[in-house]
A = this chain, B = another copy of it.
Amino acid sequence: MGVTKSEIFTDQQNQISTFAKAFAHPARVAILEHLFNLSACVCGDLVNEIGLAQATISQHLKELKNLGLIKGEVEGTKVCYCIHQENWTAMKEIMNEFLNQDKTVTPECC
C-alpha cells in the first residue's frame, strides 16, 4: 500500500494527475515562473533566487524536464533551462479541458 493504483484509471486521468504533480510543489511553480519571466534560467541563478540548496533545485529541474515542460541547454559549465513551448501548450490544453468541465453541464443534484 502507499502506491497509487494507476491501472484502474484512464490514461487521461493519469495524465492529468501527472501534470498536476509538476505544479504540486511551490518550488517548481517558482522555477517555472522564473523561466517565463526570463528573470533566471541558469540553475545557479535559480538557486540564488529561490532559497533551496543546489541539489534540491537540480532535482526539481530534472522532474520538470522529465515531464517535458522544460528543456536544458548546456553552455560551458552552466546549463540554461527554458520552457518547452510546444509541450507547455499541449499540457495546457489537457488541463484546460479538465478545468473547464463546469462549462459543459448544467448541474444541480444536491
Contacts and interface: CB of A to CB of B under 8 A. Distances in A.
Given A17-B24, A20-B24, A23-B17, A80 B109 contact: yes
Contact of A36 (B14, B30, B105): B105
B92 A95 contact: no
B81 A102 contact: no
A23 to B, nearest CB: 4
Interface residues of A, number: 52
Nearest to A22: B20
Tell me what chain A mostly uses at the interface: helix, strand, loop, or mixed: helix
Contacts of A51: 5, 8
Interface of A: 4-6, 8-10, 13-14, 16-17, 20-30, 32-33, 36-38, 41, 50-52, 73, 75, 80-83, 85, 88-89, 92, 95-96, 98-102, 104-105, 107, 109-110
